[in-house]
Structure 1
Amino acid sequence: MRGKILAAGLALSASLGSSAWANESVIKATSDPNNWATQNGDYAGHRYSKLNQITTENVGQLQVAWTFSTGVLRGHEGSPLVVGNEMYMVTPFPNVVYALNLADEQKIVWKYVPKQDPSVISVMCCDTVTRGLQYADGKIFMYQADTTLVALDAKTGKELWKVANGDPKMGETGTSAPLIVKDKVLVGISGGEYGVRGSLTAYDENTGKKVWRAYSTGPDAEMLIDPEKTMSLGKPVGKDSSLKTWSGDQWKIGGGTTWGYMAYDPDLNLVYYGTGNPGTWNPVQRAGKDGKPIDLKWSMTHFARDPDTGMAKWAYQMTPFDEWDYDGINEPILADIDVKGKKRKVEVHFDRNGFAYTLDRATGEPLVAEKYDPVVNWATSINLDKSSPDYGRPVRVKKYSTFAHGTDFDTKGICPAALGSKDEQPASYSELTGLFYVPANHVCMDYEPFKVSYAAGQPFVGATLSMFPGPDKPERMGTFLAWDAGKGKIVWSKPEQFSVWSGALTTAGGVAFYGTLEGYFKAVDQKTGKELYKFKTPSGVIGNVFTYMQGGKQYVGVLSGIGGWAGIGLAAGLTNPNDGLGAVGGYSGLASYSNLGGSLTVFALP
């Protein structure tokens, strides 16, 4: 265990106390509201800032303070980091890293240009995105598209070490942001559409040496699961919990990739993250020997693990035997909230499947699970009756089952679409209101599975999709909403023409910020959802809004650069409506509002 925290009063956030378990430099940097020192603001993933210079009364006066061109097109996800006077940002492939001096007219202090084989682009499922850098102990950590994890000296940009986490020739790529806990760098793997077996790996922060790797599927020893101590829904998972729920050795080719954001509770000493879809997307090929659906554990699952050993404390599977690509990777948000009249330490998770889960973060047991888009129809509810044999499982609707209708049958009107009621774009928890602010999709789909064979490094999808707006609001494809996670209720909802594919930010000034696919940067009142400000940035926004203080002035910024899954048609020049796993046709209207770009826009009061 690392030494005691030196500075008194440092804290993760209002909901998580300080602890020597955490990385001291991360605690110190994130405890200073002048910084934006991790991708999601703090270990808890709140994306909330205590800065309050910009308020609901004056946010309408915001002006562009400065801009920066990244020099790269394609989708710009994630956000820059700000630590002291330095800002650090990374571009989509080729993953150029910049360090800017905020005290000297944003002068470029250093620039790191990695050497990568451009062939990796061909195996990047949904654009050449990266979800951002991370900082700890005077180092910047960058995860390249080709799965190379790199440590750079934050002052000079000098390469300190690098290590390959996967093999692009097998379809493995790197798009996620790492997480630094204690003296370890934790990183996942992308490639769910290429038959990649998911994993979370820990590397030594100072040397790059691999410490442990926990697979999402397979034998207990490789998953770092203890059959008697790892819990699910209040019970031990039992021996070979994964192997028993896959047909043959299919778990080796497409189980639970790990490309979303993570969170950490230093008091419980647990890291939280989600796993993605099973391969192939054709559920008929994944059925059991008797032709019936099987759970396929532990894809579509949220895990809590000990960062020292990687051992799993608990696992909760949101969508057993997934039939629709409802990846479970969306970010965990840790908070202490009232649930049914009792204060609880929870993890809140807005899943791709359209249900918002409030889980006990010590045990993983679901406390609340409700739809955060009313049109969700693949299931009616989540069974929360502990006496039921189906406790914790979705109550499915056969009409929308792609398995029940079989291969080569086009199942119509499934809600949500494969990209979910929300994808990786992170929500925010406001310590001011106690509500969660969610960037969401309002998109449904038709889904036709077909037979596909596995070949290393080749697409392993097996489904043709078309996407379209939800039936109740055909004029819109997105929404930004406020959610009460204790009650499982929408407090207010603000419709948007296109999906809100930007990470949200809330501040002590009472404002919630987000961006839209057509390029707007917006500010709304946290209490009412009333729009208070908007500005059209140079390209569609799929980046995450962030804020910092410099020279006594609060700034708010966001990366713009259309792309990602929703914007892949524009980003990659695709025109076939079924390309981009159905997104090209669904979001064809974006071409009338946005174009390719790559820039940072920073706002401040005059």
Structure 2
Amino acid sequence: MARRSNRRKALRKFRSWLFAIAALATPASASEADRPAPKKTGQWTIQAGDFANNRYSALDQINSGNIGQLRPVWSFSTGVLRGHEGGPLVIGDVMYLVTPFPNIVYALDLNNEGRILWKYEPKQDANVVPVMCCDTVNRGLAFADGKIFLNQADAKLVALDARTGKAIWSAVNGDPAKGETATATVLPVKDKVIVGLSGGEFGIRCHMSAYDMNSGALVWRAYAAGPDESMLVDPKQTTQLGKAIGPDSSLKSWQGDQWKLGGGCAWGWTSYDPDADLIYYGTGNPSTWNPSQRPGDNKWSMSIFARNPDTGMAKWVYQMTPHDEWDYDGVNEMQLVDQAFDGKPRKLLVHFDRNGFAYTLDRMTGELLLAEKYDPTVNWATKIEMDKASPNYGRPQLVKQYSTEANGEDVVTKGICPASLGSKDEQPSAFSPRTGLFYVPTNHLCMDYEPFRVHYEPGLPYVGATLSLYPPPGEKNTGAFIAWDAAKGRIVWSDPEQFSVWSGALATAGDVVFYGTLEGYLKAVDARTGQLLYKFKTPSGIVGNVMTYAHKGRQYVAVLSGVGGWAGIGLAAGLTDPHDGAGAVGGYAALSKYTALGGVLTVFALPD
């Protein structure tokens, strides 16, 4: 009876987290969409800056020599007090940004310090909010072909006229009644818009989809689990680590019909290589969080996919965390770089996974070249097997002590590192071709994890675990901002932070790297040494992504502040139970002493 009571109590806690959220409740040409180029134009047309997801700008007016003179020059209140993930776009003389739910879109006049040119306020049923995991965030807009693309919380994709804000078309990409929602940005590729889905905590079967950019018609849809034809995989041609995946690769890895509740949501970032003509993205956790209820590898959750953007067919796939036991979603950005590896030029894909390993792959073939821990406290696995002759090639080598399944249901497995938030979550990294380094916002947390049996009901949480989060033993800091060498698999420098770094990074040709902190600081560090060069306290904690643009010959840096997201869910939703927010409320309990709710855009520049 005690165990059953504990399970009911944990389920109530997760539901209370979700339902508490409900209570709070001159454009460029179409050709520029083919290759977003902030490096050349000073514009910022998609969230990552360019298709490679590297968040790098060639602007260098602001540099390591003058960054100390940086000042805020104007600001804008969004009117929404929730987690502001994502960042603004700049096309011509106009800046575009979107708020958390209710997803208000603003077009701001850069010639007049942010005067509102138009405002689009979608009509959404507020009942979508209780089924949004981890705050009511939206990770930003995208631009192409004279259109602004909005991925609403209720999983409706909307195309707006960039000049007027009028809706051109909309498409329903999911059903909130089942727990299908949207938090991610989209990626415009050629004449299509690529869009994923959220809802793995509600037992939905997730997919990545492509819509026609001009009409909004569905072009293709690829599920993360199920029959081959529905996943758009070819058992003879689609490979994992150089070998054909074979027929029914997913069905064979689930027990019975559990794949129908399989999760595997693509709620993170998508990148595109125009030369290879492939898109790259990751899939999230399998449902439920209780691994004993879903025996098998649970393919293809926790995986990297390379797909043709026109047909959706998968060229290769690689599963990083088979049979996930810790909620280590694989959705973090795939960064594309052309860089030497072992003395040879390679077309690389670099990925910092939630599971604490940084992966370097050949993005043309899916060959795994390197996998190393980018946080030294990672303990759930000793390594990723790199011996190509081994039957375990590419698989993590688990430590039984930290296996939540091996220890059993209703048993607390203690001291697992990283926590379910991962060594890094969706907050995107940056890459500088000047230094050859990746700049990574990281979490530094461990957890206790108790899985319990859970029953599926459509539209209700399908989690099956209770978590507690805390810093690694003997340490106080829960975050760091690091520079990583992806060819050697090592940390070059590391700047510790009191709290997890939950903002996106930005690297520039001025040899400056920017990021934000949960306390609300915009920070700038030297790209080569990590030395702090500048900081400014914004009105609220930063979980948004820093960007830069040029207007009338002057370089600007902009960031949204507004604490929230998974790390800030306690503040954002007014939660106090330390187990709420899947343990994040307790893990970040001290944050309320350093910042408060907000929703503000702050724009910086050097003095005239």
**TM band (smaller chain):** over 0.9
Deviation at 1:255, TM superposition (A): 2.5
TM-score normalized by structure 1? 0.94
| 2:201 counterpart of 1:165 | no
**8 Å Cα contact 2:412/2:449 also seen in 1:** yes
Give the whole-Å Cα distance in 2 for the aligned partners of 1:602 and 1:242.
47
- Counterpart position of 1:107: 115
User: Equivalent of 1:131, from 128, 139, 153?
Assistant: 139
**Does the CA-based 8 Å contact 1:64-1:601 persist in structure 2?**
yes
Contact 1:26 1:135 in 2 (8 A): no
8 Å contact kept, 2:525–2:532? yes
Matched, 1:68 2:76: yes
Match of 1:305 in 2: 307
Name 2:235's counterpart in structure 1: 227
The residue number in structure 1 matching 2:24 is none
Residue in 2 that maps onto 1:91? 99
Distance 2:114 2:377 in 1: 46
Structure 1 residue 104 displacement after superposition: 2.4
Name the aligned partner's letter for residue 211 of structure 2: Y
Q: Does structure 1 residue 149 correspond to structure 2 residue 149?
A: no
Query: Could you tell me which residue of structure 2 aligns to residue 587 of structure 1?
Result: 588
Which residue, 128, 132, 136 being the options, matches 1:120? Answer: 128
Aligned to 2:556, what secondary structure does the other structure show? strand
Q: Could you tell me how far apart the structure 2 residues matched to 1:521 and 1:254 are?
A: 39
Aligned equivalent of 2:434? 432
Can you list the C-alpha shifts for 1:387-435, whole angstroms capped at 9, x where unaligned? 0000000011000000000000000000000000000000001011010
Measure the CA separation in 2 of the matches of 1:463 and 1:135.
39
1:565 is matched with which residue?
Answer: 566
Q: For the Cα contact (< 8 Å) 2:283–2:304, is it kept in 1?
A: yes
2: CA distance, partners of 1:476 / 1:157: 44
Query: Quick check: 170-179 or 252-261, which moved more?
Result: 252-261
User: How far apart are the structure 1 equivalents of 2:554 and 2:38?
Assistant: 18
- Look up the SS of the partner of 2:288 in the other structure: coil
Aligned counterpart, 1:39: 47
Which residue of the partner structure matches residue 12 of structure 1?
A: none
State the shift of 1:197 in Å: 1.1
Residues 21-76 of structure 1 show CA distances to partners (whole Å, capped at 9, x for unaligned) of x9643426545341111100100011000000011111011111110000001100
Aligned 1:82-481 pairs, distance under 5 A: 82-287=90-295, 294-472=296-474, 474-481=475-482
Alpha-carbon separation, structure 2, partners of 1:328 and 1:497: 25
Matches of 1:321 and 1:327 in 2, distance apart? 11
Q: Distance in 2 between matches of 1:517 and 1:26?
A: 35
1:556 is aligned to 2:557 = yes
**SS at structure 2 position matched to 1:402:** coil
Q: Which residue of 2 aligns with 1:504?
A: 505
- Distance in 2 separating the partners of 1:29 and 1:132: 18
Consecutive unaligned residues of structure 2, counting only runs of 5 or more, are: 1-29
The answer to whether the 8 A contact 1:224-1:311 is kept is yes
Q: Match of 1:9?
A: none
C-alpha distance 409-28 of structure 1, shift in aligned 2 (>3 A): closer
Query: Conserved in 2, the CA contact under 8 Å of 1:23 and 1:180?
Result: no
Find the aligned partners of 1:106 and 1:144 in 2 and give their Cα distance.
Answer: 23
| Contact 2:37–2:50 under 8 Å retained in 1 | no
Alignment-derived partner of residue 535 in structure 1: 536
| Separation (CA, whole Å) in 1 of partners of 2:44 and 2:559 | 12
Other structure's SS at 2:466 match: strand
Q: Report if aligned partners of 2:36, 2:46 keep a CA contact under 8 Å in 1.
A: no
Q: Residue 506 of structure 1 aligns to a residue in which SS?
A: strand
* SS across alignment from 2:252: helix
C-alpha separation in 2, matches of 1:34 and 1:311: 34
CA distance in 1, matches of 2:503, 2:366: 27
Q: Which amino acid aligns with 2:152?
A: Q
| Structure 1 CA distance for aligned equivalents of residues 239 and 389 of structure 2 | 17
Once residues 209 and 234 of structure 1 are traced to their aligned partners in structure 2, the CA distance between those partners, rounded to angstroms, is: 34
- Secondary structure in 1 aligned to 2:349? strand
SS in structure 2 of the partner of residue 358 of structure 1: strand
Whole-Å Cα distance in 1 between the matches of residues 37 and 366 of structure 2? Answer: 29
- Change in Cα spacing, 1:579 to 1:28, as seen in structure 2 (3 Å) is closer
Q: Gaps (5+ residues) in structure 1?
A: 1-21, 288-293
Query: After the TM superposition, which of the residue ranges 96-105 and 262-271 deviates more from structure 2?
Result: 96-105
State the identity as a percent: 67
The one-letter amino acid paired with 2:603 is V
Match of 2:263, SS? coil
Whole-angstrom distance in 2 between the partners of 1:600 and 1:527:
28
Is 1:482 paired with 2:483?
yes
Deviates more, 1:105-114 or 1:263-272: 105-114
Where does residue 12 of structure 2 map in the other structure? none
CA distance in structure 2 between the partners assigned to 1:427 and 1:196 by the alignment: 28
Query: Contact 2:37–2:49 (CA<8 Å) still a contact in 1?
Result: no
Aligned length: 578
Structural RMSD (CA): 1.0
Please tell me the residue identity of whatever aligns with 1:48: Y
Check the 8 A contact 1:127/1:568 in 2, yes or no.
yes
**1:171 to partner: Cα distance:** 0.2
Deviations 1:366-390 (A, max 9, x none): 1010000000000011011100000
Q: Deviations over 1:286-317 (max 9, x none)?
A: 12xxxxxx211000000000001000000000
8 Å contact kept, 1:415–1:470: yes
Q: Hey, what's the Cα distance between the residues in 2 that align with 1:106 and 1:285?
A: 52
1:599 aligned partner: 600
CA contact (8 A) 1:560 1:597 kept: yes
TM-superposed CA distance for 1:107, in Å, is 1.4
Q: Scaled by the length of structure 2, what TM-score is found?
A: 0.94
